[in-house]
Structure 1
Amino acid sequence: MKINTVKHLIKESIKNLNRNRVMAFSSISSVTVTLLLVVVFLAVMLNVNFMGSTLKKDIDIRVLVSQSADKTDEETLQMNIKKIKHVNSITYSSKNQELEKLINSMDENGQAFKLFKQKNPLKNTFIIKTDKPENIEIVAEKINDLSNTDEVIYGEKEIKKIFNFVNMGQSIGIILIIGLLFTAIFLISNTIKITIMARKKEIEVMRLVGATNSFIRLPFIFEGLWIGFLGSIIPIGFLLITYGIVYNYLMPKLVGTVFKLLPQLSFVIELSITTMVIGVMIGMVGSVLSIQKFLKK
C-alpha cells in the first residue's frame, strides 16, 4: 500500500514538473515573440525620431535682401533680426558666396552657372537659425514684416510635413509598444495563473502552516523575473546581429545626405539593456498580478 502511494506521489510530481516546464516554455516563448516585436518597433521609432530631429536642426530661414538695399540698410536689417525673440544665430552670405554654393552643389552641371559671375542675378542673404525648430514659422513671419527684405524662405510646407511625420511616428510607435507590453503581461499572467492552480494544494498547505503572503508570493515573482530574462535573450541577439547588418548596409548610402542612423555601438547597448529590463519587468508584473488574485481569495 505504502509502495503504491509513493509511486503515485512520484508520478504526480513528474507530471507537475513536466507541466511546469511546458508552461514556463510557453511563457518564455510569449515574452520572446513580444520582445522581438518591441525591439523592431523601438529600433525603427528611435531612428525615425533621430532622423526627424536631425532634419529639424538643419532647417533654417533664408532672408533674401532687397536689391535696392545698401550696406547700411543691410546692417540695420541684421540688427533688427537679432532683436527678434527665438533667433539663435544669423549668418551673412553675399550673392557671390551664394553663387559659389550653387555651382558647388550642382557638381559638373554647376559649371554652366559660372557664366553668371559677371552679372550675378542672386541676392545677398541672411541665414537664420532659431533656438527651437518649432519657432521657425513665428520668427519668419516677424522677419517678413521688416523693411529691405525681398523674400523670406523657410520651407513652410516641408516643415509641417516633417513635424507631422515625426509626431505621427512617435504616437503610432508608442501605442503599438504599449499594446505589445500589455499583451505580454496578460500572457505571462495567465500562464503563471495556471501554474498557481496546479500548485493550489501546495500553496494551501503553506498557508495552513502559517506562511505569509509575501513568502508565498516571492517564488512566483522570481519565476516571472526568470521568464522575462530568458525571453529577452533571443531579441537581444537578434538586435545585435540585425542592426549591425542594416547599419553597415545603409550608412554608406546615406553619406552626403542629412539622414543618419543612430550610432551602432551605443544604440545597441542601450536598447539591449532596455529590452532586458522590459522583459524582467513584464515577467514580474505578470507574476504579481496572478498571485495577487489568488491570495485575495
Structure 2
Amino acid sequence: MSFRTIKRHFRESGKSLTRNGWMTFASISAVTVTLLLVGVFFVIMMNLNHIADNIQKDVEIRVHLDPSADAANKELIGQKINQITAVDSAKFSPKEKELTNLIKDMGSDGKTFKLFEQDNPLSDVYVVKTKKPTDVIKTAKTIEKYQYVQSVKYGQGYVEKMFNVVEVARNIGIVLIIALLFTAMFLISNTIKITIVARRREIEIMRLVGATNSFIRWPFFLEGAWLGILGAIVPIAVIAGVYSYIYDTVGKNIQIKFVELLQVNPFIIQISIILVLLGALIGVWGSVMSVRKFLKV
C-alpha cells in the first residue's frame, strides 16, 4: 500500500466523521460513557488486585516444632521443607526470638509475657513462604505430616475464604468489562452501518472502476478507530483527575496494613494506554462486523 493510498484512506475516514456529524457525536458520546465505566472498573479491579496481592504475599506458614526435636532433627525438617517445589523460603525462628517478638507486638500488654523468659513455653518455628500464595494450603498439609512437627498454622479457614473472595471479585469484574466493551462495539457498528448505507452509490461506482475490497474497507476501519480513540479522551481526563485527587487526599493517609493504592505514576499512564487501545480496538472491531454484514464486496 503506497503512502498516497494511506493518505487517501485517512482523509476519507476524516470526511466521513464530519459528514455524519450527529451520528459521530452520538457514537463518541456512547463510547465515552462506556469507556468511562470500563476505566472505573479497571481502576477498581487493579487496585483490588494490588491489595489482594499484598495480603496474599503476607500469607505464611508457621511450622511449630515438637520440643523433643534436637538440633539435628530441626535442621533435617528445614531441609525437607526447602525441598518442596512450592516453597520459596523457610526461615528458622528459635523460641527465644518468638517470645521477644510476642512481647514487642503486644506493646504495653507484653510486659506480662516477660515472666516466661525464664521458662519459655513457646516452640521453635519455621516461617515458610510459598512461591504462589495459592500453594499455602497444599504445602501446609504436606509439612504437617513430617516427624517432629507439632502443629502447622496458616490461617486455616480464613485463607480459603480470602482466595475465594478474590477469585469471585476478579471474575465479576472481567464479565462486566467484557459486557461494556461489547456494548461499545455494537454502538460503533451501528454508526458505520449508517455511513455505509449513505455511501452505497459511491461504493458501487468504486467497485465498477476496479477498486479492491481492501481499498473500499480501509476508510471504514479507520473511521471506527477514530470513533474509539476520540471516545477515550474524556474518560482518560476524568479518571486521571479523580484518581490523582483520591490518591493525594485519601490514599496517602490510609493507615490500614496491606491497603495501599497504586501510585498515580505509572498507573494513570497504564490506564490511559489501555483505554486508547481498547477504544481503537472496539472501534475497528465494530467496523469489521458492520462491513462484513452490509458491505457486499
Question: What TM-score, normalized by structure 1, do the two folds share?
Answer: 0.86
Instruction: Tell me what 1:247 maps to.
Output: 247
Shift of 1:238: 1.4
Q: Quick one: distance in 1 between partners of 2:194 and 2:82?
A: 68
User: Which residue identity does 2:158 align to in structure 1?
Assistant: E
Please give the secondary structure, in 1, of the residue aligned with 2:157. helix
User: Which residue identity does 1:138 align to in structure 2?
Assistant: K
Instruction: Tell me what 2:72 maps to.
Output: 72
Instruction: Tell me what 1:49 maps to.
Output: 49
2:159 maps to 1:171 = no
Instruction: Tell me what 1:28 maps to.
Output: 28
2:96 maps to 1:96 = yes
Shift of 1:104: 2.2
Q: Quick one: distance in 1 between partners of 2:253 and 2:123?
A: 34
* Equivalent runs, 1:271-290 vs 2, <5 Å: 271-290=271-290
Q: Quick one: distance in 1 between partners of 2:133 and 2:18?
A: 59
Instruction: Tell me what 2:126 maps to.
Output: 126
Shift of 1:181: 0.8
Please give the secondary structure, in 2, of the residue aligned with 1:106. helix
Instruction: Tell me what 1:8 maps to.
Output: none
Q: Quick one: distance in 1 between partners of 2:40 and 2:68?
A: 56
Instruction: Tell me what 2:62 maps to.
Output: 62
Report how many aligned residue pairs link the two structures.
Answer: 282
Q: What do the CA deviations read for 1:43-101 (whole angstroms, capped 9, x no partner)?
A: 11122222222222211110111223333332233233333342221111122211222
Query: Which range is displaced more, 99-108 or 263-272?
Result: 99-108
User: Which residue identity does 1:20 align to in structure 2?
Assistant: N
Residues 88 and 129 in structure 1, CA contact (< 8 A), matched pair in contact too: yes
Q: What do the CA deviations read for 1:4-36 (whole angstroms, capped 9, x no partner)?
A: xxxxxxxxxxxx998710000001001101100
Instruction: Tell me what 1:114 maps to.
Output: 114
Query: Which range is displaced more, 173-182 or 204-213?
Result: 204-213
Shift of 1:277: 0.7
Q: Please, which runs of 5 or more residues in structure 1 have no aligned partner?
A: 1-15
How many percent identity over aligned positions?
47
Structure number with bigger Rg: 1
Cα RMSD (Å) of the superposition?
Answer: 2.2
2:247 maps to 1:263 = no
Q: Please, which runs of 5 or more residues in structure 2 have no aligned partner?
A: 1-15
Residues 85 and 139 in structure 1, CA contact (< 8 A), matched pair in contact too: no
Q: What do the CA deviations read for 1:229-249 (whole angstroms, capped 9, x no partner)?
A: 110001111121122122234
Question: What TM-score, normalized by structure 2, do the two folds share?
Answer: 0.86
Please give the secondary structure, in 2, of the residue aligned with 1:219. helix
Instruction: Tell me what 1:192 maps to.
Output: 192
CA distance 1:107–1:288, change in 2 (3 Å)? same
2:198 maps to 1:223 = no
